């Protein structure tokens, strides 16, 4: 059984290497190193919590545990670089999908009118001025 998990991780590592450019890999290594607070080459729950506090990012209860449950493929309680890259690539894919849904005129940018329309589809009314403030964040 452990052999299968190891093979899956090795397969994921090979897949990750094929998906990113050298520039992307450098940028992801930099981010990974910022999250790896104890510099042991892996991100554990303590690293992630400390890094989020350091970066003043809000922490949603249970979100970090869910992240580890989903992306810690070898279930060792730590996220290694290939697991991290897999998470980032999946997250980017989701963000692109959301962006495409909001960018209704397909011009590659999101404007205040598109934000107002997106909120309207969700049943939320916001003024164009509020949408412009969101874009400035």
In this predicted model, what pLDDT tens digit does every residue of 43-90 receive, in sequence order? 999 999 999 899 888 888 888 899 899 999 999 999 999 999 999 999
Top-confidence residue, 136 or 13: 136
Would you say residue 7 has pLDDT above 70? no
Supply the pLDDT for residue 75.
Answer: 92
Domains of the chain: 2-102 (1.10.238.10), 105-137 (no CATH)
Q: Which of 72, 74, 90 is nearest to 7 (CA)?
A: 74
Q: Read off the pLDDT of each residue in 95-99 and give the average, rounded to a whole number.
A: 92
Q: Are 52 and 59 in contact (CB under 8 A)?
A: yes
Supply the pLDDT for residue 18.
Answer: 53
Structure letter (DSSP) for residue 78: E
Question: Which letter, b or e, does each residue of 7-34 get, where b requires 16 or more Cβ atoms within 10 Å of its Cβ?
Answer: eebeebbeebeeeeeeeebeebeeebee
Q: Read off the pLDDT of each residue in 96-124 and give the average, rounded to a whole number.
A: 93
């Amino acid at each position: 059984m452990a052999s299968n998990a190891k093979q899956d991780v090795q397969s994921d590592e090979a897949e990750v290497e094929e998906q990113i450019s050298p520039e992307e890999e450098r940028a992801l290594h930099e981010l990974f190193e910022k999250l790896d607070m104890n510099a042991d080459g892996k991100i554990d729950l303590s690293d992630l919590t400390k890094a989020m506090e350091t970066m003043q990012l809000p922490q949603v209860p249970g979100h970090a545990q869910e992240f580890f449950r989903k992306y810690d493929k070898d279930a060792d309680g730590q996220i290694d670089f290939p697991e991290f890259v897999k998470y980032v690539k999946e997250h980017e894919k989701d963000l692109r999908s959301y962006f495409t849904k909001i960018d209704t005129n397909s011009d590659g940018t999101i404007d205040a009118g598109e934000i107002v329309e997106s909120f309207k589809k969700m049943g939320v009314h916001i003024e164009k001025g509020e949408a412009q403030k969101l874009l400035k964040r």
